[in-house]
Amino acid sequence: MTRPTILKFGAIEHAEAGDLPGWIVVEGRPTMQTAVQHTTEDGKVMSGTWRASPGTYHATYTDYEFVHMIAGRIIITPDGGQPVEVGPGDAFVVEADFKGTWKILEPVTKHFVVVVG
């Protein structure tokens, strides 16, 4: 079977609920859902849609991530660093060695691309 060379993300049909590895709730009762909508044949690149409710997580990254915010607002603060606020339409990257907080101010929907390192 031939893999499609273009894949348009549609409705999220099978999002997995539950916190990602390395994400610990530090304030409130946030929840998240992750829908991996595409993975390369070698498994090294994943992309999809992520949703989360308000609250704060401390996150420890092991992989590089590109993010395009669709809805919501987050203040991301690296440990020992300056806070960065992101919202709808913003695009940013998170390096594989990131450690810090994600304070989710409004319900979030984002598209992501993770490069497994």
Cα gap 96→105, rounded to integer Å: 24
Residues 18, 23, 29, 34, CA torsion sign: negative
Cα gap 19→54, rounded to integer Å: 13
CATH number given to 16-115: 2.60.120.10
| pTM of the predicted protein model | 0.90
Q: Which residue has the tokens 């450690």?
A: 99
> CA 65: distance to chain centroid?
8
Q: Which residue has the tokens 């993975």?
A: 39
3-state per-residue secondary structure call for 48-61: EEEEECCEEEEEEC
> CA 52: distance to chain centroid?
9
Region 89-103 average pLDDT: 98
| pLDDT the model gives residue 1 | 59
Domain map (residue ranges) of the chain: 16-115
| β-strand pairing of 23-27 with 45-52 | unpaired
| pLDDT the model gives residue 117 | 82
Give Cα separations from 41 to 38, 46, 77, 96, 116 (angstroms): 10, 10, 34, 21, 13
Q: Per-residue pLDDT tens for 43-90?
A: 999 999 999 999 999 999 999 999 999 999 999 999 999 999 999 999
